[in-house]
Structure 1
Amino acid sequence: MLIVIIVLLKAIPIIYGHFLRIEKDDPNLLAKIQKLEITEQQTFYYTRDRNENTEPRKVATLFIFDPNVLNADGWRKLGLSAKQAQSIINYTRKGGKFYKAEDLERMYTISPEMYKKLYPYVRIANQPDNFKDRDLVYEKKEYVKKPAVMVDINTADSAQLDEIKGVGGTFANRILRYRERLGGFYKKEQLMEVYGLDSSRYNEIKDQVTLSRIVLRVVNINSAQFNDLKGNPYLSYKQINAIIQYRKQHGNYTSPADLKKVLILNDQVIEKITPYISF
């Protein structure tokens, strides 16, 4: 039995090699594969090039043109492809505009070489190439003097005050604000209390203004509180407190003379506030 097993073991390799032949590689296989790859690559490039160049090339014809109105055929005649031409047409249709020849350089569809060729032929309507001194027309504007007017400073609005020679829009607004703060003007000279309106300007405008006798805004000095008097431009906060405290200690005021008892008030201040107070 042992002898039979040994014989079988020695016979297995011979039988396996007889029935299963191991194929050897063709020595020229690698060269054949490389040749096949080159052939396929050439076919691919040929196909791609043929697809990309389906549009026949045309000889460019340069001519004077306005890029804002040139149609697609015109762009193609200048040497652009149909795709490039359509890109520019889309730009102008969407509101894009060329203001000068240099604007062509901003179009990505136009190469630097093409831009150099087209630049000398660009003519944009209503856009002069440059400005010359002889083309400029200088218009000398003469100063228009304001006619003499008479304006009531107690009733005029800002437009009417602006008509006064020497009073512009800024001073007109300042006069209105100061009039409101006072409660009305009782003499022309109060205009010199308006910020920036000095005696020189006042002398220039005083003969152009009138003063109506309106009812001034008056505050009762015996019942007035701090907030009632704080808007008066002639009184400081310290003076207002002194007026109120003196009244609390000594009773009501009966006349402007009583205000002289408030030591912090001088005759000039009392004279100014008298038209705006009552007792």
Structure 2
Amino acid sequence: MVVLIALIRAIPAVYSFFFPELTNPETERLAINKLSWMKSDKEAAHRQQKMEAPVLKSTLFNFDPNLIDADDWQRLGLSAKQAGVMARYKGKGGRYFKKEDLQKMYVISPEMYERLIPYISIGLGKDRQRQQLNPEYTAKNYPAQQKPLSIPLNTADTLQLMEVRGIGPAFARRICNYRQRLGGFYKKEQLLEIYGLDSLKYAEIKDQLSLDDLVLTTINLNTALFDDLKNHPYLKYKQINAIIQFRKQHGNYGNIADLRKVAILSAETIEKLAPYISF
């Protein structure tokens, strides 16, 4: 009997050992809520930290994207790398003709474009642009321009050519280099022979250019050597050799008609070359 009573009293302890009591539901709920609050607090702290993270300082001002440089783009909020892209585009002759053109630049995000658009002023003018960038700059008082822009094609330097709407540094250099090789332009349409200058670009710039009375540089075919002719864009090396050999075999050229006897020269080539040769 004593043994039986001892076994009955031991049953709860044994049961508890093999079958532990389940967690109190209320205690479990409170623990879950505490974990949830801790997670929420952590996320809130992360958001606050992100909001308080330092951002690139920018200064917004009225600007013409055709005139500003890399430093100015950085002042507007672009990174050094993005500003470099904008500067290289300008350096290669890239131009903006309306505000929307800025959207074509992949380094200008939609958000950045929306920030900048109220300040974009195409054709702002160099003096006004300089005043925006440097308040101490005093604009020069030029007399009002009465006539439309007319830049002399045969005597203008690169800076003068860049005053033409549609001509940037790259095209200005190409025009001057090609003019040097030719000996001068005798018609505006010769600009179409310049690399990268297509009919659309020509239509944009032609009315802003004029043909001055500069005398074209000519080459005397009766005394010219190979080196005198090799850089002319209208002649290839084989044609130059043919011109010189024909002269050696038949004597000096007297006129254009004699040049037509050189079989390798087409009528089109002779017509283009005529203003640049003498006898």
Give the TM-score taking structure 2 as reference length. Answer: 0.51
SS in 2 for 1:190: helix
Give the drift of 1:228.
0.7
CA distance in 1, matches of 2:124, 2:227: 41
1:144 to 122, 139, 151: 122
1:130 corresponds to: 53
Distance 1:258 1:144, change over 3 A: same
Q: Report the Cα distance in structure 1 between the residues aligned to 2:54 and 2:160, rounded to whole angstroms.
A: 43
Q: Which has the higher contact order (CA 8 A, sep 6+)?
A: 2
The 1-side partners of 2:198 and 2:276 are apart by 24
Tell me the equivalent position of 1:254: 254
The Cα shift of 1:258 comes to 1.0
Shift of 1:153: 0.8
| Higher mean displacement: 237-246 or 140-149 | 140-149
State the SS of the aligned residue for 1:240: helix
- Superimposed CA distance per residue, residues 110-147 of structure 1 (whole angstroms, 9 cap, x where no aligned partner): xxxxxxxxxxxxxxxxxxx73369x8665533142288
Give the letter for the 1:131 counterpart: P
Q: What pairs with 1:183-202 in structure 2 (closer than 5 Å)?
A: 183-202=183-202
Gaps of at least 5 residues in structure 2 are 1-51, 62-115, 126-147
CA distance in 2, matches of 1:215, 1:255: 20
The structure-2 alpha-carbon separation of the partners of 1:253 and 1:164, relative to structure 1 and needing over 3 Å to count, comes to: same
CA contact (8 A) 1:146 1:165 kept: no
Q: Which residue of 1 aligns with 2:24?
A: none
Shift of 1:179: 0.7
**Does the C-alpha gap of structure 1 residues 273 and 146 become closer, same or farther in structure 2, counting only changes over 3 Å?**
farther
Q: CA deviation at 1:238?
A: 0.3
Please report the RMSD computed on the Cα atoms of aligned residues, expressed in angstroms: 2.3
Q: TM-score, normalised by structure 1?
A: 0.51
**Percent identity of the aligned residues?**
55
Structure with larger Rg: 1
Partner of 2:162: 162
SS in 2 for 1:228: helix
Between the aligned partners of 2:228 and 2:58, the Cα distance in structure 1 is 62
Q: 1:217 maps to which residue?
A: 217
Residue pair 1:146, 1:164 contacting (<8 A) in 2 also: no
* C-alpha distance in structure 2 between counterparts of 1:173 and 1:164, whole Å: 13
| TM-superposed deviation, 1:260 | 0.9
* Preserved CA contact (<8 Å) 1:186 1:211: yes
AA matched with 1:155: T
* 1:139-186 deviation digits (Å, cap 9, x = unpaired): 533142288621111111111100111111110011011111111111
Question: Are residues 145 and 261 of structure 1, via their aligned partners in 2, closer, same or farther at CA, if it must alter by over 3 Å?
Answer: same
C-alpha spacing 1:253/1:145, structure 2 compared with 1 (3 Å) = same
Runs of 4+ in 1 over 6 A off after TM superposition: none
User: Cα distance 1:244–1:146, how it changes in 2: closer, same or farther (>3 A)?
Assistant: farther
The residue that corresponds to 2:96 in the other structure is: none
In the alignment, what sits opposite 1:33? none
- Letter of the structure 1 residue corresponding to residue 53 of structure 2: N
Q: Residue 164 of structure 1: SS of its match in structure 2?
A: coil
Alignment of 1:264 onto 2:187: no
Contact 1:146 1:163 (8 Å CA) reproduced: no
Equivalence for 2:239: 239
Instruction: Report the Cα distance in structure 1 between the residues aligned to 2:274 and 2:268, rounded to whole angstroms.
Output: 10
**Which residue type is aligned with residue 144 of structure 1?**
I
